[in-house]
């Protein structure tokens, strides 16, 4: 069991930012070999659970940073934060490991396992408010042109389809040179499809605005203490004025973006502060992260759109909240979220902002990791904006994995995404997932760039997760059907 846990942990090296994809060709076959050796399905379940425990503990190690920020209250959670989450996620690996034994050992079982893995992994959206973090398909989000080429099929089958193909490639490696040759051919076709899409798909004739991404670099301790709120506000005003002045040369409508909860007060209750922001914006439109309290007293994590004359012209409340971070799941006998937590909004929206800014789809932090759930399909925007605060997780893999989700959503939807992060990493991606602008971790500055145009609507944006579900079921059915054929053959032999 310890060896399987270690194998799972080594598999975590495939996730961003390391993206060491070849490790999967060793750890997945090792897991399947242990599943084959298990005497019962319970033993196979145990091996899958151990692998999932190692994989997700390594992949989510950065959760410990958030506990350390509140160590005075939750010091006892420090050693168990990442393993605790991994315990919750491990059954999503254990169940495929147990069920794949229905198929006969060999390639049929490997194919069934890949389908089961993908189907169960997709089911993580139903865990609390959902936790689809680090799908195996995200391993291909290698920085630069190589990664951009490899993630292009997500425009057709999404990140879950990439997960299915990746697991299939990994588990079939041990089955001889003929199979490996076929797998190499699949990789060649994969690369060819990525190159072809980037060469043949033409962006739409749409002129998106220029964006000014404002990164204040405020530590989470400072945000919690509120001791320097006025200084933080002044910093954002100065950065906004500086960025908007640079953006004037682009000769486009300008939107400046403040990260999640960047405004240290309640924006809708501070008209004087809005006037000051509008003056700093100098004719531009503001998209500002803030807390908001509704008339019934409920608190919301929100982003507000503000006109050049300081009027609030759009408001969006985060609709998918982070379990243990923004609300307290009912299964916990104690509270880790201060007060009563936050209240979710009504779902994704599209803002039609005046002056050539919209239509734009706002997303707050964690919401951007949900494949096929980031766009209002009945009213598709021309671009997406994601505001976030990853200061909780330090200069770790966490913010990089979060950023990888932003990049993948751009490819799936064919839409450019502008991301403003409090401490970084702020970036802009076009509809191919190519990074067109970036500001690294831990600096207070601005990113000023003209947003690329959107691409034609992708197949994935139309079909959603239907295709990866169908492909996964086909793999499961194919693997299980092999068992039936073997059973019939054995029966005929006895006769």
In the residue annotation, 475 being an active-site residue is answered as no
Catalytic hit among 220, 365, 367, 413: 365
- Specify whether the CB–CB gap between 365 and 326 falls below 8 A: no
Interatomic CA distance for residues 132 and 135, integer angstroms = 7
Q: What letter does residue 334 receive in the DSSP assignment?
A: S
Residue 304, preceding bond cis, omega within 30 degrees? no
In the residue annotation, 85 being an active-site residue is answered as no
Interatomic CA distance for residues 184 and 190, integer angstroms = 10
Interatomic CA distance for residues 75 and 336, integer angstroms = 12
Closest CA to 218 of 421, 406, 446, 69: 421
If you search the block for the tokens 């800014």, which residue do you land on?
A: 357
Strands (E), 307-397: 312-317, 360-364, 383-388
Catalytic hit among 141, 260, 304, 326: 260
- Specify whether the CB–CB gap between 333 and 356 falls below 8 A: no
In the residue annotation, 34 being an active-site residue is answered as no
Residue 414 sits at the vertex; the CA angle it makes with 412 and 418, to the nearest 5 degrees, is: 100
Catalytic hit among 85, 141, 304, 318: 318
Interatomic CA distance for residues 483 and 492, integer angstroms = 14
CB proximity list for 115: less than 8 A, separation 6 or greater:
164, 471, 472, 473, 474, 475, 476, 478, 479
Active site (catalytic) residues: 260, 318, 365
């Amino acid at each position: 069991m310890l060896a399987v846990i270690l194998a799972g942990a080594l598999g975590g090296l495939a996730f961003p930012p390391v993206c060491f994809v070849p490790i999967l060709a060793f750890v997945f076959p090792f897991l399947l070999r242990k599943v084959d050796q298990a005497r019962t399905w319970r033993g196979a379940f145990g091996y899958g659970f151990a692998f999932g425990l190692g994989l997700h503990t390594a992949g989510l190690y950065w959760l410990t940073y958030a506990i350390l920020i509140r160590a005075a209250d939750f010091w006892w959670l420090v050693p168990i934060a990442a393993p605790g989450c991994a315990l919750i996620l491990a059954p999503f690996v254990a169940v495929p490991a147990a069920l794949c034994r229905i198929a006969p050992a060999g390639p049929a079982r490997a194919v069934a396992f890949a389908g089961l893995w993908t189907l169960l992994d997709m089911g993580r959206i139903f865990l609390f408010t959902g936790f689809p973090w680090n799908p195996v398909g995200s391993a291909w989000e290698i920085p630069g042109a190589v990664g951009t080429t490899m993630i292009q099929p997500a425009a057709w089958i999404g990140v879950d389809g990439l997960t299915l193909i990746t697991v299939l490639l990994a588990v079939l490696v041990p089955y001889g040179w003929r199979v490996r040759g076929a797998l190499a051919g699949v990789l060649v076709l994969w690369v060819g499809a990525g190159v072809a899409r980037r060469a043949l798909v033409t962006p739409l004739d749409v002129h998106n605005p220029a964006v000014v991404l404002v990164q204040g670099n405020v530590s989470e301790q400072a945000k919690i203490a509120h001791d320097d709120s006025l200084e933080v506000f002044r910093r954002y005003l100065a950065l906004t004025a500086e960025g908007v002045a640079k953006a004037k040369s682009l000769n486009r409508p300008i939107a400046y973006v403040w990260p999640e909860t960047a405004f240290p007060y309640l924006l809708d209750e501070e008209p004087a502060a809005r006037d000051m922001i509008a003056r700093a914006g100098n004719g531009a439109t503001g998209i500002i992260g803030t807390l908001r309290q509704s008339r019934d007293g409920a608190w919301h994590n929100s982003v507000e759109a503000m006109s050049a004359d300081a009027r609030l012209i759009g408001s969006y409340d985060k609709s998918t909240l982070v379990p243990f971070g923004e609300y307290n799941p009912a299964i916990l006998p104690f509270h880790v979220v201060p007060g009563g937590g936050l209240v979710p909004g009504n779902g994704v929206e599209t803002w039609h902002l005046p002056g050539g800014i919209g239509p734009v789809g706002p997303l707050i932090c964690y919401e951007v990791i949900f494949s096929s759930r980031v766009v209002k399909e009945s009213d598709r925007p021309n671009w997406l904006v994601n505001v976030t605060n990853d200061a909780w997780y330090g200069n770790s893999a966490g913010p990089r994995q979060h950023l990888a989700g932003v990049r993948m959503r751009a490819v799936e939807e064919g839409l450019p995404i502008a991301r403003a992060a409090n401490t970084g990493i702020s970036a802009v991606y076009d509809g191919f997932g190519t990074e067109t602008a970036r500001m690294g971790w831990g600096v207070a500055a601005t990113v000023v760039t003209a947003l690329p145009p959107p691409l034609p609507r992708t197949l994935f944006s139309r079909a959603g997760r239907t295709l990866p579900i169908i492909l996964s079921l086909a793999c499961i059915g194919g693997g299980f059907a092999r068992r039936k054929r073997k059973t019939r053959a054995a029966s005929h032999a006895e006769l």
